[in-house]
Structure 1
Amino acid sequence: MSETTSRGNKKKYDGYKSFQYLEPGVDFKEYKLSKENDRVEPYIYEVTADEEEKVQKILEEDLMISMHEHTFILPEDLNEFFEFRRQGRDSTGYEALSQSGLDVIFENFMDGTAMVTSQAGWKWSDVIHDLGIRFSDIAHQDMVIKAERISDLYRAKEEGKIAFVGALESATMIENELDRLDVLYGFGIRTMGVVYSEANQLGSGLREPSDGGLTVFGKQAVQRMNKLGITVDVSHASDKTSLDTIEVSDKPVTINHSGARALWDSRRLKPDDVLKACAEKGGVIGIEAAPHTTITKNNPVHNIESFMEHFEYVANYAGIDHVAFGPDTLFGDHVGIHDLLSGALSIKSAHGKNSFPKVDYVKGLENPAECFPNIVRWLVKKGYSREDIQKVTGGNIMRVLKETWVK
């Protein structure tokens, strides 16, 4: 990664690689992993020298928070993916993250593809295994810290480290057991989606042909999450389930990785009434960058421009105080893994009948290390004020966490 992209807010990284405390081939099976940096041609959003100085100052001084990422590294050969997942051991892209400009990352793991005992994902034992393995690795290094309270987020910034917020995209694994939410909180989970794209005990996902909304058990689960201090998310929920959840929750609800359906007719994106309800409850909407999500009629080729078109729509419609960024990226061939898992992760059904040019990667937003420097460059280039940039790159999220987490 070039000096230009890595200068601002570079972290104190000592060269640690995941599981280096174990012996490959003895303690675990080793796979050749994708490159963390420069897997594709690096892209730096074009700004002037004066604008770049402003960008670097913002990255250095202000709190940079990504609401949604998967910081693990895919195997280079995706034909090995299912075997790789059955091993239940994901490596984290520490080196690249040290140059990402990020202070706080909502780490969403990969539990829709947790396949240690099942090919369906979301099984309780597999999720617990996944969380334990990743947090064990994190505990053996010094750059990333496990964040459980607001003070941990500020501490990470002050110490030149990165705070990982434990996040899950669905509550499917709790089945009908409310106390499992307490267990997950104890493991470090601080934000959770009520449902992934397929329906579960809590409600309907965006994939379902009929939308039954939040169930009675779902209401109980939302109330328990409120009491525990788990931020409730509805990114993958159906429209009615999203609205029901926002209404039932005593606290603000997030949509931590999505966009505006008004710009692109996809069930993966949220209609105006859901965006409005989220904002009116005090919540925040994080803009998604996973391949072929936040595209628009003006920018059908997915890149940073189409992504930021969704940002501006939500900022103008819901208000600048209710928008942030949840790029939802990873290290490796994101388009390739979507192709491989199009059925399992409901990717194809979310697109519906829409046709669009397929990209090999999202230019400017290819992985968790590339996103925020380019997002800040775009905002500076377009003349956004320092105050508004502070809000959308971290301040709005912090407001919600202060209202939803244990003090």
Structure 2
Amino acid sequence: MTDLKDVSAFPEALQPKRYDGYKSYSYLEAGADYRVWPLARELNRVPSRRPSVTPEQEARVRRLFRDELMISLHDHCFVAPEDLSQFLEFRRWGRDFTGYEGLSVSGLDAVFDNLMNGTAMITSRGGWKWDDVVYDLGMRLSDIAHQEMVVHCKTTEDIVNAKKSGQIAFVVSIEGAAMIENELDRLDILYGLGVRCLGIAYSEGNQLGGGLKEPRDGGLTVFGRQAVRRMNKLGIAIDVSHSGDQTALDTVEVSDKPIFITHAGARALWNSNRLKPDDVIRACAEKGGVIGIEAAPHTTLTERHPRHSIESYMEHFEYCVNLVGIDHVAFGPDALFGDHVGLHHALTEALSIGASRGHLSYEEVEYVDGIENPAEAFGNIVRWLVTHGYSDTDIAKATGGNVMRVLKEAWYR
């Protein structure tokens, strides 16, 4: 096993973590206690390219990773199976394999991990059921409890302590609240189970409000308004990434605390319901909230860069910075370990992929060059920022400071 406290043992690591080689469910017997699935490679799966930097710039990048908080506002840090035609069967077993090796070299101090959400289909082919979500959460946290590098995060202090101790804070997030149905107290239960960020709706409307795929968005329901107020009281951060525009605006208005758009981009650059119009981004920022820029394949495209890569991704970042200021923009790459494009093909209906596509033509890519998985995303983002003239202060805000500011208001502690 490799001890990454010695950075020379693994030169790719931007900031060494306390990784001892643990693989998911190593405490069980593979093939006897659970079915074995060949999984994708966590590192160097595809020839994704780094932004070109000088040795001096790379030294600055590494100093930033050493000194500043690095927080991903949205990712799925699981490892997908190699054979995606079997993905639904893989999911029905309920065991997600966290990419610990990839995370160990990511430089991240905290990650908002969104589990498998609507693809948790142990009891339902439709997903988003209470039993499935709780099963998904419990299984993942059981695995995390058996290793030392990733720690279940419940407070802002946990994030600070994780960085100090060479660990990664795992913030449990869920992208939509359909599973609470009309039971307000289920929010308390989710909080008690360690959930610290919750979306209003995942594309399809639910009891709380409208999703982005609905033909008409009626905004937050009366129950949705109650749910927002309960989340404020509990200390659950609120996300409107997949909500309809009116529902997002209503949520900003009703919430006493700043909210997140954890993973999206600017619709002004690409005409897709998956991205947010200027008025929603502005409203979020005016209440102190933050938008995290999304990098899932074929989302943050632009007319200048219709082939998805880190360049189109960062164009959305700069647009939002110019629109609302550096204090209200962060990064939520929405990456995973494995073939993300292939996964979208396998799960088109479950993930409402059709609703996430823009109305402009684009070339499908095999992967998002430069920001393909959680192991490389933040390193390349910071390299891009360094080479494009951003100050250390502004980089620190975008990579973690802005998120921490919102959490200190939105969380109970």
Q: TM-score, normalised by structure 1?
A: 0.98
Q: Secondary structure at the match of 2:316?
A: helix
What is the match of residue 124 of structure 1? 130
Matched, 1:114 2:120: yes
What is the match of residue 103 of structure 1? 109
What is the match of residue 290 of structure 1? 296
Q: Distance in 2 between matches of 1:275 and 1:304?
A: 21
Matched, 1:58 2:64: yes
Residue type matched to 1:119 in 2? R
Q: Secondary structure at the match of 2:72?
A: strand
What is the match of residue 312 of structure 2? 306
What is the match of residue 82 of structure 1? 88
Root mean square deviation of aligned Cα: 1.2
Matched, 1:171 2:160: no
Q: Deviations over 1:332-364 (max 9, x none)?
A: 000001111112211112215332110000000
> Does the aligned pair in 2 maintain the 1:45–1:374 contact within 8 Å?
yes
Q: Deviations over 1:155-181 (max 9, x none)?
A: 000000000001000011000001110
1:154 to 146, 156, 160: 160
Residue type matched to 1:90 in 2? D
**5+ long unaligned stretches in structure 2:** 1-6
Against the structure 1 CA distance between its residues 5 and 315, is the aligned structure 2 distance closer, same or farther, given a 3 Å change threshold?
farther
**5+ long unaligned stretches in structure 1:** none
> Does the aligned pair in 1 maintain the 2:299–2:356 contact within 8 Å?
no
- Give, in angstroms, the shift of residue 60 of structure 1: 1.4
Q: Secondary structure at the match of 1:368?
A: coil
Q: Secondary structure at the match of 1:6?
A: coil
Equivalences, count: 406
Q: Distance in 1 between matches of 2:144 and 2:363?
A: 38
Q: Distance in 2 between matches of 1:275 and 1:5?
A: 39
Against the structure 1 CA distance between its residues 352 and 387, is the aligned structure 2 distance closer, same or farther, given a 3 Å change threshold?
closer
Q: TM-score, normalised by structure 2?
A: 0.97
Identity of aligned residues (%): 62
Q: Distance in 2 between matches of 1:24 and 1:7?
A: 29
Matched, 1:181 2:219: no
Residue type matched to 2:145 in 1? A
1:263 to 269, 285, 290: 269
2:197 to 188, 191, 194: 191
- Give, in angstroms, the shift of residue 42 of structure 1: 4.0
Residue type matched to 1:83 in 2? E
Matched, 1:201 2:180: no
Q: Deviations over 1:33-81 (max 9, x none)?
A: 1111111114221111111110111011111000000001111000110
> Does the aligned pair in 2 maintain the 1:294–1:307 contact within 8 Å?
yes
Q: Secondary structure at the match of 1:37?
A: coil
What is the match of residue 3 of structure 2? none
Q: Distance in 2 between matches of 1:237 and 1:281?
A: 18
> Does the aligned pair in 1 maintain the 2:335–2:374 contact within 8 Å?
yes
Residue type matched to 1:345 in 2? L
2:346 to 321, 331, 340: 340
Q: Distance in 1 between matches of 2:243 and 2:44?
A: 34
Divergent runs of 4+, >6 A: 2-5
- Give, in angstroms, the shift of residue 7 of structure 1: 3.5
What is the match of residue 393 of structure 2? 387
2:229 to 208, 223, 226: 223
2:16 to 4, 7, 10: 10
Q: Distance in 1 between matches of 2:57 and 2:31?
A: 49
- Give, in angstroms, the shift of residue 10 of structure 1: 1.8
Matched, 1:279 2:285: yes
What is the match of residue 372 of structure 1? 378
Q: Distance in 1 between matches of 2:15 and 2:173?
A: 24
Q: Distance in 1 between matches of 2:356 and 2:135?
A: 29
Matched, 1:322 2:328: yes
Q: Secondary structure at the match of 2:261?
A: strand
Residue type matched to 1:237 in 2? S
> Does the aligned pair in 2 maintain the 1:5–1:373 contact within 8 Å?
no
Q: Distance in 1 between matches of 2:190 and 2:79?
A: 24
What is the match of residue 232 of structure 1? 238
> Does the aligned pair in 2 maintain the 1:254–1:278 contact within 8 Å?
yes
